[in-house]
Amino acid sequence: MYVTIPTDHRRSNPITPLKSVMTKTAEARLKPGSYLYFEGDEVEWLYQVMVGVLRLTRLLADGRRQVIAFAYPGDIVGFPANGLHHTDCEALTDARLQPFRRAALENGEGDAELHAALLQSALREISAMQDHFMMLGRKSACEKLASFLCVLTERVGEEVGGYMQVSLPMSRSDIADFLGLTTETVSRTFTQLRKSNVIAIDNIHTIIIRRPTALLSLSLGDGD
């Protein structure tokens, strides 16, 4: 499940690994900055993220970029369309991935359980992307960033000293390209949230949620 506004899937299901009764393929490992695949590549494998964070991006001819999703442990990346990858996929951190043959999705390969799990994952992704449409099309900069932090806190936040804390392995421009903003706007919005004491910025990559309910309100547009 990808980082978008959640529909219902809570952290109730933290990282249900898909287990295949078939060929137990060895986990893949990635270093930060290395690519798993590129747009246009033939799809041979899907991958479940076991450890780490990946970034899926698409480029426009003139260099404008859209981050499609950040993939966290439990998520599946690499769904094919007409047999091809439609995004670039880069590791933001050290990562470990469990590969599944594309055929496991497309014809089951005799493993009905795995097949069903991959399909459900694809369907959840459709729903998650629909949420993200609302974010991109209809939310203000502040609502976008607040939503983003809420979702991340929900999925991968850790409690530290009575507050939830979130690690942001991606750069400000990754966040900007995910939310349809510029880095400057992302930066200003972080500052604004910090000054209004909704969050604290421990360091650039670590955010502390000081007022979770305020953050949630902002994410829903009650901030007016």
Partner DNA sequence: CGGGTTCTTGACTATCTTCAACGAAAGTGG
Partner DNA sequence: CCACTTTCGTTGAAGATAGTCAAGAACCCG
Report 93-122 residues binding DNA (CB under 7 A). none
- Provide the minimum distance between the beta carbon of 182 and DNA in the complex, in angstroms, as a whole number: 4
- Binder of residue 119, out of DNA, its own copies, none (CB less than 5 to 8 A by kind): its own copies
12 binds its own copies (CB under 8 A): no
Instruction: Give the C-alpha separation, 176 to 144, whole Å.
Output: 10
Coil, helix or strand at residue 187: helix
Cβ proximity of 144 and 175 under 8 Å: no
Size of the site for its own copies (CB under 8 A): 44
Instruction: Give the C-alpha separation, 197 to 214, whole Å.
Output: 9
Q: What angle do CA 123, 48, 51 make, to 5 degrees?
A: 130
- Provide the minimum distance between the beta carbon of 221 and DNA in the complex, in angstroms, as a whole number: 11
What is the per-residue DSSP string for 168-182?
--S-HHHHHHHHT--
Report 147-206 residues binding DNA (CB under 7 A). 171-173, 180-188, 190-191, 201, 203-205
16 binds its own copies (CB under 8 A): no
Cβ proximity of 176 and 186 under 8 Å: yes
Name every residue whose Cβ is closer than 8 Å to that of residue 24 and which is 6 or more positions away in sequence: none
Report 119-138 residues binding its own copies (CB under 8 A). 119, 122-134, 136-138
The dihedrals phi and psi of 141, each to the nearest 5 degrees, come to -55, -45
CB-wise, 58 or 188, nearer to its own copies?
Answer: 58
- Binder of residue 66, out of DNA, its own copies, none (CB less than 5 to 8 A by kind): its own copies
Instruction: Give the C-alpha separation, 93 to 106, whole Å.
Output: 30
- When binding is defined by CB under 8 A, the residue of 60, 159, 195, 203 that contacts its own copies is 60
- In the complex, the residues that contact its own copies under the rule CB under 8 A are 7-9, 58, 60-62, 64-66, 68, 79-82, 86-87, 105-107, 112, 116, 119, 122-134, 136-138, 177, 179-180, 220-221
Catalog residues that contact DNA under the rule CB under 7 A: 140-142, 171-173, 180-188, 190-191, 201, 203-205
